[in-house]
A = this chain, B = another copy of it.
Amino acid sequence: GGFRGGELIVNTFAYHFTPAGSMLECGAQALGCTVIPTGVGQTEMQVTTIRDLRVAGLVGTPSFLKLIVEKADEMKADIASLGKAHVGAEYLPPALRQGMAARGIRVSQSYASADLGLIAYESLMPEGTVNEGMILDEALILEIVRPGTGDPLPAGEVGEVVITSLNRDYPLIRFGTGDLSAMLPGASPCGRTNARIRGWMGRADQTTKVRAMFVTPKQVNEVLRRHPEVLKARLVVEGETGNDRMTLKCEAGERADGLVEAIVASIREVTKLRGEVELVAPGSLPNDGKVIEDARKYG
């Protein structure tokens, strides 16, 4: 996050019943920063602390950063000392990052989880630009797999982030994070050469309900397994409440006679539901990690 030794940091992650507070505190202390643990909530006290102690940096979720800055405006509190924030634990909207930059707060993010600790982090150029993507933590092995399977995807395809961590205290082998991302080609402009991923791109678990029955990515992949001619598939669920329709769009090179009928039969066997099948050209399905797309309109 561009923090430097000697700087005063407010840590707005919680320490109670979650490792987030402690994890970020240890990181900041390793850099030589002094950390004020505030936890979540108490926004007014957090603003007062930043103002009175001229705090240089903030660590927390994007939401809390926003809340605190808005509260400072409301209180007309001078928090100009706050020049950087390092965020995580939820999606960082680009508009929020731009808004913060406009008022002099440089925002960078990292991607971590309670089980794994740090997974990947953004890097900064000397003049402060935040580089694209996130660099994988050097101690981890990362795979991108097709959701609902353990099968690695070709570079650049969006899929579930699966991590192997060989640390002695808490080793994890092929731990499915449930998050979607993809590998980024090339090396970071900052000079680090480890693997890079695009940021967090959504959750991998696309289990949905169709006509009151659960349909899972694993079932979609079971259908695919029965038809090797199909290279990639995406189950699209449409319709109004009480009238769900599902269509399996299949990228297929060879289109053997009876393929569509055979897939329809497999769908019924695996999901106990009726589904249509539409054959599409290889490479035509979107690269967004979705095995099941819920295209129904709600509300």
Contacts and interface: CB of A to CB of B under 8 A. Distances in A.
A19 to B, nearest CB: 9
Contact of A17 (B16, B17, B22, B39): B39
A289 interface: no
A64 interface: no
A198 to B, nearest CB: 33
B21 A42 contact: no
A100 interface: no
A22 to B, nearest CB: 7
A14 interface: yes
A176 interface: no
A21 B17 contact: no
Interface string A166-190: 0000000000000000000000000
B21 A38 contact: no
A202 B149 CA distance: 65
A46 to B, nearest CB: 9
Contacts of A38: 16-17
A293 to B, nearest CB: 37
Interface of A: 14-17, 21-22, 37-40, 42, 45
The 8 closest A-B pairs by CB, nearest first: A16-B39, A15-B15, A15-B37, A17-B38, A16-B38, A16-B37, A17-B45, A15-B16
